[in-house]
Amino acid sequence: MSLRLMASAWLLAAFALSQPATAQTPTLRGPWLGAGLGTASASVNCELCVGDRNGGLSGYLTGGIALSPNVRAGAEVMGWFDSTDEVRQRLLLYGASLYWTPAPASRWYLKTGLGLLNYRADDTADADDDPLGASAAALQLGGGYEFGASSRLWVTPFANMIVSTSGNLT
């Protein structure tokens, strides 16, 4: 193994195992805000729908208050948008969430929430076609890891799963 490769491996291992100084550890007190963009996949099941899972643009806005060093409560709006085979689809979730960090020094968190999921689909090729829509109660479960960019800014990759009851298409 070359000296450069070995030094790079040691540097990478030291970085991965290092802990930030206490003064650098972001703390959460009082109100907080969050936003993000990414990709997501969704599947809608109905008599008229195709059962394929589609990928699309996803985003969210959230905000709330820290109830303790371990628990945050918030309200959020999440959206998913896709246009495939001349069908434009949209899912919007309006909900309330709880975020739990098992240990205040830990950066891992778990998330759960309840909300209202709204679905809409329309045919982009036929302007006279009525859009389909449905609303239903939804549950979300997720988790993530917070990287402190500064004392007030965190970068947080996360995974989230949203499931809902059957809604009636209108």
pLDDT digits (tens, 9 = 90+) for 131-142: 888 899 999 999
Residue 7 phi, psi (nearest 5): -65, -40
d(CA 21, CA 120): 48
- 27-42+54-164: CATH topology is Porin (2.40.160)
Comparing 1 with 112, which gets the higher pLDDT? Answer: 112
Q: What DSSP character marks residue 168?
A: P
Q: Which residue has the higher pLDDT, 62 or 150?
A: 62
Does residue 53 surpass a pLDDT of 80?
Answer: no
Q: Give the predicted TM-score (pTM) of the model.
A: 0.72
Determine the Cα–Cα distance for residues 43 and 109; give it in Å rounded to an integer: 26
| Cβ–Cβ < 8 Å for 145, 157 | yes
Q: What is the pLDDT of residue 111?
A: 95
Note whether 32 and 65 are within 8 A (CB).
yes
Please say if the pLDDT value at position 163 is more than 80: yes
Contact 66, 103 (CB under 8 A): no
Query: Across the strands, what pairs with 148?
Result: 154
Assign 16 to helix, strand or coil. Answer: helix
pLDDT band for 22, please (50, 70, 90 cuts): very low
DSSP state of 149: S
Domain residue ranges of the chain, discontinuous segments joined by +: 27-42+54-164
